[in-house]
Structure 1
Amino acid sequence: MSKNILLICGSGASSGFMAASMRKAAKKQGLDYKIKARSESELGDYLDEIDALMVGPHLKAEYDAISQRVPERVTPILMHADYYSILDGAGAVAHLRKELGD
């Protein structure tokens, strides 16, 4: 089953690199994940089409407020700095799968 995942960070730049790394890792694992990256300011434009929202670790202070903006069917996830800082897509996908129960 296909899942739509949105990554957000301050500007969308660092999450763009992370999303590319995650797409590669998901493809290797045979997962049908559609992974996009956008800036936090664009979040409202994508709420209707996503299954999970991954928030960059540098937005930790805003995480509670951000997660309250997402519909109940969307799983909000605060990304871990350990895999985010090195753009470890496989680590991020493992965390995502654990949170989604996949």
Structure 2
Amino acid sequence: MRILVVCGAGASSTFVALRLRRAAALAGMPLSASAGSASSLADDLRSTDVVLVGPHLERSLDEIHRLAAPRGVRVVLLPDDIFADSDGSRALALVTAAAPSATGSATAETA
């Protein structure tokens, strides 16, 4: 599964993506996570299964959903305190909830 973490310029999303990759590796889950910016989102969605949206982009959420929907990309708004998720476990739980069939999880909640 391919995860895109989006923030305004791509800086803070880099940390979330790195921690998410580590958490997935520890859990034995095959996924890739990369960081992106709001300005490159339309292009980046072409190779994405789930997009995690930085909390400061909440105002853009409707537009992100509009861009993602035709491609079947799940969109998850990250909580305000996601940057305190030092081991990536919370971000991984959000991904698992958003796309349970792709991660092999039985979690029923979707974004």
Verify same fold: TM over 0.5: yes
1:5-84, aligned counterparts within 5 Å? 5-70=3-68, 71-82=70-81, 84=82
SS in 2 for 1:58: helix
Superposition RMSD in Å? 1.2
User: C-alpha distance in 1, partners of 2:34/2:46?
Assistant: 14
User: C-alpha distance in 2, partners of 1:23/1:57?
Assistant: 20
1:98 aligned partner: 97
Q: Unpaired segments of 5 or more residues in structure 2?
A: 106-111
Count of paired positions: 99
SS in 2 for 1:81: coil
Cα offset, 1:72, TM superposition: 4.4
Flag as ranges the 4+ runs of structure 1 deviating above 2 A.
Answer: none
Cα offset, 1:87, TM superposition: 3.5
When normalised by structure 1's length, the TM-score is 0.90
Contact 2:2 2:33 in 1 (8 A): yes
Q: Unpaired segments of 5 or more residues in structure 1?
A: none
Percent same amino acid among aligned pairs? 35
User: C-alpha distance in 2, partners of 1:39/1:55?
Assistant: 10
Amino acid at match of 2:92: V
